[in-house]
Structure 1
């Protein structure tokens, strides 16, 4: 997975952290969790607020 794979990342995060409400998540934690996912193979420094926000929104949609 790469940073542009927003939906697969959100689905993996929802599976790995079902107890977490993504609405209350800090971007620093989100960034760390994404880079720790199995199959994540992108440069950790290539993320930005826009990408993290897109992942967060997709995760919220996964919950609904």
Structure 2
């Protein structure tokens, strides 16, 4: 499956699987950006993210943990 920055739920699911012990509530956006770019299937342009997108991914990831 291929996804980009706007597939926040898909990214969150992949991150939850790949980083089960990450403290998502306190993750730095620089680390989150790197984690997303390193995911298998991620085809987004690394320069096209912004704080709002990273925050949406973070919130979706937190929801996945509940």
RMSD of aligned C-alpha atoms?
Answer: 0.4
TM-score by length of 1: 0.98
1:59 counterpart = 2:61: yes
Q: CA deviation at 1:24?
A: 1.0
Aligned partner of 1:40 among 37, 42, 46: 42
Q: Secondary structure at the match of 1:42?
A: coil
Structure 1, unmatched stretches of 5+, are none
**Aligned positions, number:** 64
1:4 counterpart = 2:2: no
TM-score by length of 2: 0.95
Structure 2, unmatched stretches of 5+, are none
Q: Distance in 2 between matches of 1:43 and 1:8?
A: 16
